[in-house]
Structure 1
Amino acid sequence: MLRLLMYLVPLALTIYAFIDCLNTPEDEAKHLPKIAWVFIILLFWIVGPIAWLAAGRLRTPPGGGRTPSEWHRNHRMEYVAPDDNPEFLNSLKADNKKDEALLKDWEADLRRREEELKRREQGEGSEDK
């Protein structure tokens, strides 16, 4: 059982540090670029994760005397999903209007070409008689 723990604890620490590193924004990684931290965590199995947790990330305490869990619950980045972002929705509306205008132009061009083709066919039909 102790041998199993000797492998599971460092593995769990490595997995935790790896995921934490991947979820950390690039500007919050200290001392080295984030990709370097990923390699350190994965290559130096026990030392790498401990180094990441100790010195690799800019860890700022939440303001206002709140606990970290309260800060994470109440702090929302900007938007969670694209359908919650008004700028994204407005860009979709603008793209939709452009596409509708283009489609109307194509339909008008198609009608014009069809009428022109009908006129040609009628003109050729009257010449044959």
Structure 2
Amino acid sequence: MIRLLPGVIVFLLWAYCLVDAIVSDQSRVRHLPKWVWIVLVLLFPLVGSVAWLVAGRPGTPARLTRERGAAPGFPEYERPGRMAASDPAKDEEFLRQVRERAEEQRRRYEAERRRKAELEGDGEGTPEA
């Protein structure tokens, strides 16, 4: 019975690592593609399993990442490199539109503030800046 214990332990480790490699998110697997890790674990049960645990397994589960502040339910926020500009010309156009909209809002606010000041009876010209 004792002689079977190492084999049972290796089998359980192998089964755990195989299932873990299969269900892990492709984008979170480290160092090698997911399919390579699965093949390594399948072909080399002990060495592949230990290598998966040490070098391939994702560091923190996605569930823990979300609990630490990432927006749940929005995987686009969890992708690396998501803030990279894809077309600088479109970015410049967008920023120009944002500036124009902000300037228009500032003008409307100033006009509204002047109108309110005149209605309140300042009457001494323009309100304080």
Length-normalised TM-score, structure 1: 0.47
Bigger share in helix = 1
Length-normalised TM-score, structure 2: 0.47
